[in-house]
Amino acid sequence: MKPIKSNPFTLSLCLFFVLNISVFAQLSSVQVDSLVNDALDKFKVAGVAVAIVKDGKIIHEKGYGVTSKKTNIAVNEHTNFAIASNSKAFTTTALALLVEDGIIKWTDKVKDHIPEFKMYNAYVTENFNIQDLLTHRSGLGLGVGDLMFFPDGSDFTIEDLLSSFQYFKPVSAFRTQFDYDNLLYIVAGELIARVSGVTWEAFISERIFKPLQMDNSYAGLSLITDSGNLALPHNTASGDFVVLPNFQDMINGAAGGIYSNVNDISQWMLMHLNQGKYGHSLESQLFSVENQYEMWKIHTTTDVNRNPRYNSHFAGYGLGWDLTDKKGNMIVSHTGGLPGMLSRTVLVPDLNVGIVVLTNTEPGGAGLFLAVSRTIIDGYLGLDDFEWSNKFYEYFKARESDGDQVTKEVWETVETNKKVKINQSDYIGVYKDNWFGIMEVFNKNGKLWIKSHRSPKLHGEMQFYKANTFAVKWEYQDMNADAFAMFSLDENGKAQHIKMKGISPNIDFSFDFHDLDLKRVTKD
């Protein structure tokens, strides 16, 4: 559900690496095979699928590696992966169809369709429109509230979500700053359900998958009827491949719930490159050119990547798409990430080309999809071979090493301070956050533990770190999510309040522990 963004580090790379002056054009399928197989090994990824469309045709679609290290079943072009936040463009397309139907307008106020929708102040609530749900300009912080769904398995409802926004503290003025948001896309999915009379999942399946003949795609994990060709997520943080459970469905899949394959997504890319037209002779039209422009228009500006290699002039977010330019060509893209599932879709309308890369391993999948997609796009832009695989490998390796050093020092400090005596009764109690609910600190076999009442995977031992701060080692280890719990005490030394934040600098932004404001609700 999360986006995986490339880093401005590419600018410094351009300054320090000598460019190979040879220029290459479109990669052949054999060259793509070599590129992907090399990246598969380099980034330690279990399986990947890649497709390229050009001038109205699929010119490459293939699987590499395996769907699962337990079964060693080969990935092919029909293997389904969780596409995570690449689902967002399907949600915006669904809304475009409702606009075409005359049921809604892009500028409709959300409260007119969802009366109980309430933001952090009256002005924002009154003026929040449908496009504000889609453009990450709400004024709220990065990934705010994602803790309701990360990790999966919580019991939060649409009612909980709709009431949560009033409790979050804005970090910028409304419509002035880009901060990626998943929860508002779930609200968009609920709006689609209310105005159409069917679930988001049913709408996507009937109005998008069916006409495009995306016959092997599913709008949610629970809808998959045959899991025989389903890629399973993996994690390699321990050094070995660990097969993870599939991420459970959320309230709806509007922010990141779709499972698809490169064969089906090729039809999706071709339709967009043809400005909504599809079919053997492009005889059908899913949406109008006008709505294509609306989805591919910058609604929220973002920082331009100043990499001189691409001579980019603008960057921003449209409706479910990242937008920028490279060498005078518009680039339309998005990434996606769930535990063990990382992907990227890239369209270059000016060159009539599209690339999709789906992977099933974290953290290596991010480096792989960036290296593979960048190399292929560079070929179409007529640029030299920049050896993206090597450069992204070194970048992510250094990033991982830096993060590991931080966490290593934290747990070394914990080990050093194990003999420090603390009065557990000063911390034990029930604490409540207005949007996340109850977290309880309790004694378990002589040790302090903390657990969430509504997100059962957030359950772990609290170990003394420094002062009134504890390091929490969650039993959930599918993702890097361990956190600090920092207590505020009253004049008698009794804990009254908990603030939290992630330990690792590389923690996924969806673990927004820092947005919690936990106050003691039990009496002494």
Nearest Cα residue to 443 out of 423, 457, 458: 423
The span from the CA of 459 to the CA of 451, in Å, is 4
What pLDDT was estimated at residue 44?
97
Structure tokens at 302: 């973002």
Give me the phi and psi of 118, to 5 degrees please.
-145, 125
d(C-alpha 503, C-alpha 338), whole Å: 20
Q: Is the separation of the CB atoms in 107 and 356 below 8 Å?
A: no
Cβ atoms within 10 Å, residue 170 = 17
pTM of the model: 0.93
Domain boundaries, the chain: 9-84+214-400, 424-520
Q: H helices of 114-216, where?
A: 122-127, 158-164, 183-196, 200-204
Options 1.10.10.10, 3.30.420.40, 2.40.128.50, 3.30.930.10; CATH for 424-520 is: 2.40.128.50
Closest by CA to 391, choosing from 49, 39, 41, is 39
Angle 280-281-284 (CA atoms, 0-180°, nearest 5)? 90
Q: Do domains 9-84+214-400 and 424-520 have the same CATH topology?
A: no
> Interhelix angle for 183-196 vs 88-100, to 10°?
30
Q: Which helix (H) or strand (E) holds 430?
A: strand 429-433
Gap between the terminal Cα atoms of the chain: 41
Beta-carbon contacts of 177 under 8 Å, excluding residues fewer than 6 positions away, are 137, 139, 171
HSE (side-chain half, CA atoms, 13 Å) at 99: 21
Query: Can you tell me whether residue 39 is helix, strand or coil?
Result: helix
pLDDT of residue 3: 58
- Separation between Cα atoms, residue 8 and residue 300, nearest integer Å: 19
Query: Tens-of-pLDDT digits for all 524 residues of the chain?
Result: 655 544 433 333 333 333 333 344 688 999 999 999 999 999 999 999 999 999 999 999 999 999 999 999 999 999 999 999 999 999 999 999 999 999 999 999 999 999 999 999 999 999 999 999 999 999 999 999 999 999 999 999 999 999 999 999 999 999 999 999 999 999 999 999 999 999 999 999 999 999 999 999 999 999 999 899 999 999 999 899 999 999 999 999 999 999 999 999 999 999 999 999 999 999 999 999 999 999 999 999 999 988 899 999 999 999 999 999 999 999 999 999 999 999 999 999 999 999 999 999 999 999 999 999 999 999 999 999 999 999 999 999 999 999 999 999 999 999 999 999 999 999 999 999 999 999 999 999 999 999 999 999 999 999 999 999 999 999 999 999 999 999 999 999 999 999 999 999 999 999 999 999 999 998 65
Give the per-residue pLDDT at 12: 33
Backbone torsion region of residue 44, taken as left when φ is above 0, otherwise alpha when ψ lies between -120 and 50, otherwise beta: left
pLDDT, residue 27, reads: 87
Distance CA 357, CA 447 (A): 45
CB 450 within 8 A of CB 441: yes
Q: Are 327 and 311 in contact (CB under 8 A)?
A: yes
Beta bridge mates, 331? 324
Query: Which CATH number does the domain 9-84+214-400 belong to among 3.30.1330.10, 3.40.50.150, 3.40.710.10, 2.170.190.11?
Result: 3.40.710.10
Q: What is the maximum alpha-carbon separation in the chain? A: 78
151 preceded by cis ω (within 30°)? yes
Would you state the structure tokens that stand for residue 382, as one six-digit string? 């007529």
For residue 78 the two structure tokens come to: 């029909």
C-alpha atoms less than 13 angstroms from C-alpha of 425 in its C-beta half-sphere: 3
What is the rounded distance in angstroms from the CA atom of residue 331 to the CA atom of residue 128? 28
Is 256:336 a contact under the CB 8 Å cutoff?
yes
Phi-psi region of 470 (alpha: psi -120 to 50; beta: other; left: phi over 0): beta
Phi, psi of 431 (to 5 degrees): -125, 145
**7 φ, ψ (degrees, to nearest 5):** -110, 150
